[in-house]
Structure 1
């Protein structure tokens, strides 16, 4: 469990570097370099304390020791110069282990601000070296900011999913464990901790002999193609107690150097994407493929020992793609090693990707003993499936784990539960695609009252057409009478666009001299390139560019465009999982043809669409209310205009690092929501100190964002709980005998206020709306407090109605989802 002070220090380091260091990856590198620097000096000091000698800062490197760096006599510029020189010279220090020298390769200081470095080093100085779990967990927490997608399609795997897979696979102390695409070594460390916990009497691993512990560490291996990931994973393992971690820079799919090495346990979340043109693997794979996810799963299957087990996170293409390589892979697994498929909800990798994933469980020993495969469907993983991934009560993982353990223990006896059901390998083989979609095989009483699945590749029912673009340098091909849709005509939306016009048009000549096709009314347009999964229904004849796969219904007596469009919108995460490519991901016509949708009778389709349309009409109306509403104050000529500077003196906030617990809530810019209210989520805290007490908030205080894209955003503090406001916020404590705080807040939401704010803001890429600007805001103030109160009362009544519309949207979005889910339940 990460202690609060360590987490606070890491957060503080990151906060200091924001704006100075270009991206999260570079921030992690800077913190890693500084931590290793500090730890080496700590180890030298520890050695001296016990009567030994220094090992790292010797033979001319004494001048770079941490104590000299932070000596009181050092000025800011001197410290910056010494630190910058030190980190660039560390690779020349032959007394450093190779692991540490690698960390300092190409190291440099990306900023030249002495004050920033001074604050940063002060926080780093608070860390102390040891081999405890606390330190290793701190580094893992630091690595969590590396969540964005990597160049090779890597995604940070959520910790609770990693731990779930490790518990299910149940690695043992004598087994060789491998992650062939290890990233920052999350799976390897989770397996290490799990085994130590399984061999615990009083503390982790205390039942292991020193020899057993050393053998366990020696048996844990990782590969990664990225040298940056290898360096970070080595440090991560080192800080978790691995004195000699085994992670190699290795291209698992194209190199044969380690082909003959096998493992008892393999845990992996391989890259989801393949480079343009695909992977060019060597010839020893069982499956002929160019897709990275296919090759990785094949590699893992091939490299399990005869009784080996594996847990692999895979994109949905592995589950249902109809390509030859995908089918061959599924057949290979079913016949040799697959024992379970766990379907995860589409939001697990948010906010980095909405891609739908599943977990494949391979067990070569168990697969020989049973002809059954368990399919498990996880609907909730304990976190909301939106971008913020906030904790929720609904969590299917414990029940899923229970089902898997029961099945592994007695596969022929286990009858299933509400999440899981068994399917025979023979039944899977009857399906020509060898599909891993569990719903396809579910056999229960509900099956008879739901609908058959139809393929989008069924040419009696659907025709799939792509688009095209006429030559741009042929004026005669453009600005004609043919509507031509591009992504700009399908705005981001939670529902389906009704396409009644396009921004650009082409001519008949352009249509005839390109691959664009004129599509009939009722065609379902599905974006298939880059921004994937937007859906529209053409309400006039139209053509599209090549960024779409368009579904034309061939038999209107069997399928309605509105119903099919609704199904495609529901499948958006699955469509993203079909996409291939690098810079511009795209799914193919063949991939789309492999998708199946439920198809009720036409009358049932009409009923479902009518139900959804009714809900959507309510949502659209509620959204118009919310979008249109702004607190409005009808200004009278006789009201005096008073500047903020005449009313009060702006105060800047407190500079500190937020933490998860503390005596006072710490309110930051991000805590003010778009409507000018205090957000209830992602709360952070600090403990009250004498210095911080000057920044304690009172009811009625106004907070104003003073920098960044949200400059000018204003909140009224009305909470009973104690709070401190952070830097980058300005406090206005208005004289209540002249102006009511809520009146000012209402004014700050108005167009009058924003016209002034936009005129007063300074700065380019990082707008600044500081106190010198804010004091010039002119506020029209009714002289009588009673008149201000009347205006406030009316606005509060309006806000009650607006908030009721928010609740209405939330409830009716759930109703739409439920209506769609009822169609898909099999």
Structure 2
């Protein structure tokens, strides 16, 4: 919980500044290179822990750093032409002691190629790491970065012991803070979704083990990680764990999957799926999930709006914050998308509907313009959500939620697919829509986004959503209320909260102007009487008397 740990924040800022001053000024490139180093460190740590656990339990475990490693390009060559590398020299704990220049050469030529080859030639991770490059240019920068990362891990270990927070959760906080430094976010409408908003959405949809869950524009994998942590937490609670404390936003979470049996781990590995059109974000997403304990994340490079993406009616849950701005080449739009627009914020929502199985649920963040846009495509999308889906909730968010990246006003749409795209709608699926106006999310709504006391409306939204009742939630002056579908139809499928919310105007009674002027004159006369009684009929008092005379 980095907001409460200035030492950890300071160490991460130091690391960031070292890369900046060392010549790597592109934030995304710096994040990528730092991630590689964090991954090397964590790989060594996990391997040592698994070895210790195996010795304690008597189970058999083969270290990833045992034996020799042959480069993929040399494996089919005669043995005399191969250059075997002792895997033990590839450990973080080994190479960090080398002199700076020797360390840089060793990491570039041996450690990083080994990491790229880690999961075998057929793994998704290896496939996307194929073109990754290690470009830390200076030996001293690498040496300083390694030293700082060791210090960061020491602080994380201490916090884990003292505060009882799972090490993987602290590591996730560190990684999320690094991701938050991506100053180029906002490019093509992409920016990081705050973790507490991800947790809110996850609590609304409540994913379960065995469900197929997707984020079709996954970025660094935040929603997939959120679903994973929710599932693992619920399993831990079900198995009797009682010592998981709420975090600073009121959510109970852990990402430690060590207690899962093989069957659960196997099911979990086939649960989470993500796609993104930025290969760098795909790599970051893969390593983000791997550092949280997911060994083989199913994240891939794919434009889910394009003709080349054929998946349909496959997923139980979709959670997403797709790009808000921009448009796609009309000729490349998937034929199954029928809205007749190139606006990505509309196409993604229609595509999410397409990806859902019947009975599947989606929770997606959209710009508020989607709720009331007057264009034909806007209205057609809203009608699709009301008629072919059960549109359960529209939650408006304050405009500062995505600062410092953007100040756009957004909303959360929560819906369950009832009718398929080719079905004849016998009856509109939506009966009532639940609206909630979030006014605070527990953080300041300026660019700093400082943590404030309490949880804002986060926990209230969860409680009231799961307890919603159209027979009770009728007060439209309240924060939340329900609106019948028939009224929404009459309003041209407008889903803006302001269309249905009733404002309360408090009647204020003011004194007559003459009474107010008498009070002003009395106040002035009192002050002047103490100073100089001769001045009573001059200055401001005289002007007030003249004004009172004009009023009669």
Is this a same-fold pair by TM over 0.5? yes
Contact 2:118 2:126 in 1 (8 A): no
Mark the CA change 1:140 to 1:56 in structure 2 (over 3 Å): closer, same or farther.
farther
Aligned mates of 1:48, 1:403 — CA distance in 2: 47
1:138 aligns with 2:198: no
Contact 1:90 1:101 in 2 (8 A): no
Secondary structure of the residue aligned to 1:330 is: helix
Match of 2:399 in 1: 346
1:173 aligns with 2:234: no
Deviation at 1:266, TM superposition (A): 0.8
Mark the CA change 1:298 to 1:22 in structure 2 (over 3 Å): closer, same or farther.
same
1:371 aligns with 2:397: no
> Which residues in structure 2 correspond to 1:76-225 (within 5 Å)?
76-86=100-110, 89-90=113-114, 93=117, 98=123, 99=125, 102-103=128-129, 105-112=131-138, 114-126=139-151, 127=153, 132-146=168-182, 148-199=184-235, 200=237, 201-202=240-241, 210-225=262-277
* Unaligned stretches of 5+ residues in structure 2: 56-60, 71-83, 158-165, 245-253, 420-426, 508-552
Match of 1:439 in 2: 498
1:414 aligns with 2:414: no
Match of 2:160 in 1: none
Deviation at 1:361, TM superposition (A): 1.0
Contact 2:219 2:285 in 1 (8 A): yes
Contact 1:87 1:107 in 2 (8 A): no
Aligned mates of 2:92, 2:504 — CA distance in 1: 70
**Per-residue Cα deviation, 1:669-728 (whole angstroms, up to 9, x for no partner):** xxxxxxxxxxxxxxxxxxxxxxxxxxxxxxxxxxxxxxxxxxxxxxxxxxxxxxxxxxxx
Aligned mates of 2:333, 2:302 — CA distance in 1: 13
Contact 2:387 2:430 in 1 (8 A): no
- Of residues 350, 358, 362, the one that matches 2:411 is 358
Aligned mates of 2:453, 2:118 — CA distance in 1: 53
Deviation at 1:351, TM superposition (A): 0.9
Mark the CA change 1:309 to 1:106 in structure 2 (over 3 Å): closer, same or farther.
closer
- Of residues 461, 469, 480, the one that matches 1:400 is 461
- Of residues 33, 36, 43, the one that matches 1:33 is 36
Match of 2:161 in 1: none
Aligned mates of 1:388, 1:254 — CA distance in 2: 37
Aligned mates of 1:356, 1:279 — CA distance in 2: 30
> Which residues in structure 2 correspond to 1:190-269 (within 5 Å)?
190-199=226-235, 200=237, 201-202=240-241, 210-269=262-321
Secondary structure of the residue aligned to 1:309 is: strand
Match of 2:442 in 1: 382
Match of 2:548 in 1: none
Deviation at 1:235, TM superposition (A): 1.1
- Of residues 59, 62, 85, the one that matches 1:61 is 85
Secondary structure of the residue aligned to 2:357 is: strand
Deviation at 1:48, TM superposition (A): 7.3
Mark the CA change 1:430 to 1:279 in structure 2 (over 3 Å): closer, same or farther.
farther
Contact 2:328 2:344 in 1 (8 A): no
**Per-residue Cα deviation, 1:196-225 (whole angstroms, up to 9, x for no partner):** 222312165799654234313311111111
Secondary structure of the residue aligned to 1:422 is: strand
Deviation at 1:317, TM superposition (A): 2.3
Contact 1:341 1:361 in 2 (8 A): yes
Contact 2:328 2:343 in 1 (8 A): no
Deviation at 1:136, TM superposition (A): 3.6
Mark the CA change 1:261 to 1:137 in structure 2 (over 3 Å): closer, same or farther.
farther
Contact 1:38 1:66 in 2 (8 A): yes
Deviation at 1:316, TM superposition (A): 2.2
1:334 aligns with 2:422: no
Deviation at 1:253, TM superposition (A): 0.1
**Per-residue Cα deviation, 1:317-344 (whole angstroms, up to 9, x for no partner):** 2112111111110111111221211111
Secondary structure of the residue aligned to 2:21 is: coil
TM-score by length of 1: 0.49
Mark the CA change 1:240 to 1:258 in structure 2 (over 3 Å): closer, same or farther.
farther
Aligned mates of 1:95, 1:387 — CA distance in 2: 40
- Of residues 21, 26, 35, the one that matches 1:23 is 26
Deviation at 1:397, TM superposition (A): 2.8
Contact 2:40 2:115 in 1 (8 A): no
Deviation at 1:145, TM superposition (A): 2.1
Mark the CA change 1:258 to 1:446 in structure 2 (over 3 Å): closer, same or farther.
farther
Secondary structure of the residue aligned to 2:188 is: coil
Aligned mates of 1:230, 1:45 — CA distance in 2: 27
Deviation at 1:435, TM superposition (A): 1.4
Deviation at 1:119, TM superposition (A): 1.3
> Which residues in structure 2 correspond to 1:661-700 (within 5 Å)?
none
**Per-residue Cα deviation, 1:221-259 (whole angstroms, up to 9, x for no partner):** 111111111111111111222122111211100034442
* Count of residue pairs brought into register by the alignment: 442
Mark the CA change 1:174 to 1:78 in structure 2 (over 3 Å): closer, same or farther.
closer
Aligned mates of 2:363, 2:486 — CA distance in 1: 23
Aligned mates of 1:77, 1:45 — CA distance in 2: 27
Deviation at 1:7, TM superposition (A): 5.3
Aligned mates of 2:376, 2:41 — CA distance in 1: 54
Aligned mates of 1:274, 1:238 — CA distance in 2: 31
TM-score by length of 2: 0.71
Mark the CA change 1:35 to 1:207 in structure 2 (over 3 Å): closer, same or farther.
closer
Secondary structure of the residue aligned to 1:271 is: coil
Mark the CA change 1:140 to 1:386 in structure 2 (over 3 Å): closer, same or farther.
closer
Deviation at 1:19, TM superposition (A): 2.2
Mark the CA change 1:101 to 1:125 in structure 2 (over 3 Å): closer, same or farther.
farther
Contact 1:57 1:65 in 2 (8 A): no
Aligned mates of 1:352, 1:82 — CA distance in 2: 38
Mark the CA change 1:339 to 1:52 in structure 2 (over 3 Å): closer, same or farther.
closer
Contact 1:61 1:93 in 2 (8 A): no
> Which shows bigger deviation, 93-102 or 167-176?
93-102
Secondary structure of the residue aligned to 1:352 is: coil
Bigger relative contact order, structure 1 or 2 (CA pairs below 8 A, ≥6 apart): 2
Aligned mates of 2:280, 2:99 — CA distance in 1: 33
Aligned mates of 1:266, 1:14 — CA distance in 2: 33
Contact 2:432 2:482 in 1 (8 A): yes
* Unaligned stretches of 5+ residues in structure 1: 450-826
